[in-house]
């Protein structure tokens, strides 16, 4: 049933990948529902969500409202939610004849909630995946229609992992919709006793605690690459840590936690167990730079400095 009429809810780049797959598979997009344009950047220019830009470019019906209403939502065969970020009222979930499917980037019931990709990375998971579920009255709680697992590599971060999961989600969804609508595919209830939950991130989430093991610190840097980014305070100024790696250099008894160390013209920080190599950093008011370049520009002994 390739011409199923779909109302799509989404905002982000993750959403666009999935929406584009639905368009390319010749599904009938009855409406794309996104958040309204918002002022962003230093100039506070009104900026459209990426899904809204895609809808405009491809001349798809677009609805942008803070609170979507039943009257504004067209009738359809199926609803699809992908990185929408808002609770959809029950009367709108009831509109599609075959329900509303949610594309969630985790293997539910693990990592329900708003930050499954970041949480999986921060927790050092080896695998994750995507779930197509039937939306019910609770967040990420409905029965599972389809899932696919992938491996998280050592070089994955929030950007690369989201891109991978978006591509897999798009393929899985377009393959699943026809059999769901015809009734060949059935939904299976989640095991709610195994559910784990994720939280919204704040700026403080990115603050690095150097009393943690080095690998845990690297995991969080990878996880928070987009937002809130990982950071400390150095000499009263914020310093973003954009890229770093664990070394095989163990912390010595004389190394104070969070102290900067210079070795072979490279910049390191003392973590709980090993030194961490700062590859790319961004001082406040500056562009990203190599840790070695930052070190070369320091006017004081690096060993006297600590990241707070």
| Least confident among 33-47, 80-94, 124-138, 237-251 | 33-47
* Tens-place pLDDT, residues 50-89: 999 999 999 999 999 888 888 889 999 999 999 998 889 9
Q: Is the pLDDT of residue 268 over 60?
A: yes
What is the percentage of the chain residues whose pLDDT exceeds 90? 78
Q: Is the pLDDT of residue 157 over 50?
A: yes
Q: What residue spans define the domains of the chain?
A: 5-194, 203-304
Reported confidence tier of residue 282, pLDDT bands at 50, 70, 90: very high
* Tens-place pLDDT, residues 174-183: 999 999 999 9
Please state the rounded mean pLDDT for residues 97-126.
97
3-class DSSP string for the chain: CCCCEEEEEECCHHHHHHHHHHHHCCCEEEEEEECCCEEECCCCEEECCHHHHHHHHCCCCEEECCCCCCCCCCCCCEEEEECCCCCCCHHHHCCCCCCEEEEECCCCCCCECCCHHHHHHHCCCCEEEEEEEECCCCCCCCCEEEEEEEECCCCCCHHHHHHHHHHHHHHHHHHHHHHHHHCCCCCECCCHHHCCECCCCCHHHHECCCCCCHHHHHHHHHHCCCCCCEEEEECCEEEEEEEEEEEEEECCCCCCCCEEEEECCEEEEECCCEEEEEEEEEECCCCCEEHHHHHHCCCCCHHHCECC
**Which pLDDT does position 115 carry in this prediction?**
96
Please state the rounded mean pLDDT for residues 136-158.
94
Reported confidence tier of residue 301, pLDDT bands at 50, 70, 90: low
What is the percentage of the chain residues whose pLDDT exceeds 70? 97
Q: Which CATH superfamily is domain 203-304 in?
A: Formyl transferase, C-terminal domain (3.10.25.10)
Please state the rounded mean pLDDT for residues 111-140.
95
**Which pLDDT does position 1 carry in this prediction?**
47
Q: Is the pLDDT of residue 284 over 60?
A: yes
Q: Is the pLDDT of residue 2 over 60?
A: no
Give the class (CATH, top level) of 5-194: alpha beta
* Tens-place pLDDT, residues 28-52: 999 999 999 888 777 778 889 999 9
């Amino acid at each position: 049933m390739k011409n199923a009429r779909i109302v799509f809810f989404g905002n982000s780049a993750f959403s666009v990948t999935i929406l584009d797959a639905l368009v390319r598979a010749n599904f009938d997009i009855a409406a794309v529902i996104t958040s309204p344009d918002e002022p962003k950047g230093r100039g506070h220019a009104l900026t459209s969500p990426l899904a809204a830009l895609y809808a405009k470019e491809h001349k798809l019906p677009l609805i942008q409202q803070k609170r979507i209403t039943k009257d504004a939502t067209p009738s359809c065969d199926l609803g699809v939610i992908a990185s929408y970020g808002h609770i959809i009222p029950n009367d709108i979930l009831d509109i599609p004849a075959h329900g509303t499917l949610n594309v969630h980037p985790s293997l539910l019931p693990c990592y329900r909630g708003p930050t499954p990709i970041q949480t999986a990375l921060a927790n050092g998971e080896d695998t994750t995946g995507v779930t197509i579920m039937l939306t019910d009255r609770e967040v990420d709680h409905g029965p599972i229609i389809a899932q696919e697992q992938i491996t998280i590599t050592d070089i994955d971060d929030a950007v690369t992992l989201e891109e991978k999961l978006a591509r897999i989600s798009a393929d899985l969804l377009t393959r699943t919709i026809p059999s769901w609508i015809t009734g060949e595919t059935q939904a299976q209830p989640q095991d709610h006793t195994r559910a784990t939950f994720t939280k919204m991130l704040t700026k403080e989430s990115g603050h690095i605690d150097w009393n943690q093991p080095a690998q845990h610190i690297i995991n969080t840097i990878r996880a928070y690459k987009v937002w809130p980014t990982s950071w400390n305070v150095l000499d009263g100024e914020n310093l973003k840590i954009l890229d770093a790696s664990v070394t095989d250099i163990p912390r010595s008894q004389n190394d104070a936690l969070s102290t900067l160390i210079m070795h072979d013209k490279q910049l390191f920080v003392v973590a709980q167990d090993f030194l961490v190599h700062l590859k790319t950093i961004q001082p406040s008011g500056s562009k990203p730079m190599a840790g070695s370049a930052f070190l070369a520009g320091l006017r004081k002994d690096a060993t006297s400095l600590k990241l707070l």
